[in-house]
Amino acid sequence: MWVFLFNWFVKLTAFPVAYLCFKTKVYYEDKSVQSRRISGGAIIVSNHTSVFDYAVYLFVFFGRTLRVQMAEVLFERKILGIFLRVLGGIYVDRNVHDMSCVAKSEKILENGGVVGIFPEGRLPREGEKRPLPFKAGAAYLALASGAPVIPVYTNGRYFGKKRARVVVGKPVYAKDFCPEGLSEKEELEKISEGLRQKVIELQKYLPSEDERKS
């Protein structure tokens, strides 16, 4: 309950700042199928462009408490770490083989919550092809939980005169990407690449430069 209440407090008090910083415009693959409103448990997967992606999605999915898996590095600063935990951030230690974050995420989904994952696992470096290959964590969670996965794309253009443009895709399921007869490793690879391609495909729903000027 405290996570829910603190989320609402942050979103309500920070909304004017977020609006000025991000100027977020949301587009849809098919709004009649999936809008910004999410019913029941779901996993959100997205490309990763900035540490501010999470802040943008807090307001894109304003009506839900978004519990995002976050790398251990974000918790190294004590005050920031406490803030993220109170917001509901799910601690992920990338340096050890620890499945506690998966168990916690599954529990949230079982209770009808929404889990956010950036499957690239880190921010791309200059010159790297984006998005990076997706790691298996999101695929494993989707397969184990059976929860719908909502792919989301962000252009990562935040602050100043830039405008954040986000595309919300139609829900998919892990089993959509893997035929029968595959090993678990092959299944996770197929699902991970399938989710990555879904996120990439969402870019086509963004207006062109000419369309934005018209």
pLDDT per position as a tens digit, 77-100? 999 999 999 999 999 998 887 788
Q: How many CB atoms lie within 10 A of CB 110?
A: 11
Q: How far apart are CA 24 and CA 21, in angstroms?
A: 9
Instruction: Indicate whether 214 pLDDT > 50.
Output: no
| pLDDT at 1 (0 to 100) | 79
| pLDDT at 210 (0 to 100) | 45
pLDDT in tens, 123-169: 999 889 999 999 999 999 999 999 999 999 999 999 999 999 999 99
pLDDT in tens, 100-114: 899 999 999 999 999
Q: Strand, helix or coil at 198? A: helix
pTM: 0.94
β-pair partners for 67: 115
| pLDDT at 213 (0 to 100) | 52
Q: What single letter denotes the amino acid at residue 57?
A: Y
pLDDT band, very low/low/confident/very high, at 187 (cuts 50, 70, 90): very high
Percent of the chain whose pLDDT exceeds 70: 97
Q: What single letter denotes the amino acid at residue 137?
A: G
Instruction: Indicate whether 45 pLDDT > 80.
Output: yes
Distances (CA, A) of 47 to 50, 53, 104, 123, 203: 9, 9, 22, 9, 11
CB proximity list for 65: less than 8 A, separation 6 or greater: 3, 4, 7, 88, 113, 114
pLDDT in tens, 47-84: 999 999 999 999 999 999 999 999 999 999 999 999 99
Q: How far apart are CA 192 and CA 139, in angstroms?
A: 5
Instruction: Indicate whether 212 pLDDT > 70.
Output: no
Instruction: Indicate whether 20 pLDDT > 80.
Output: yes
CB proximity list for 154: less than 8 A, separation 6 or greater: 46, 47, 49, 53, 56, 57, 164, 165, 166, 167
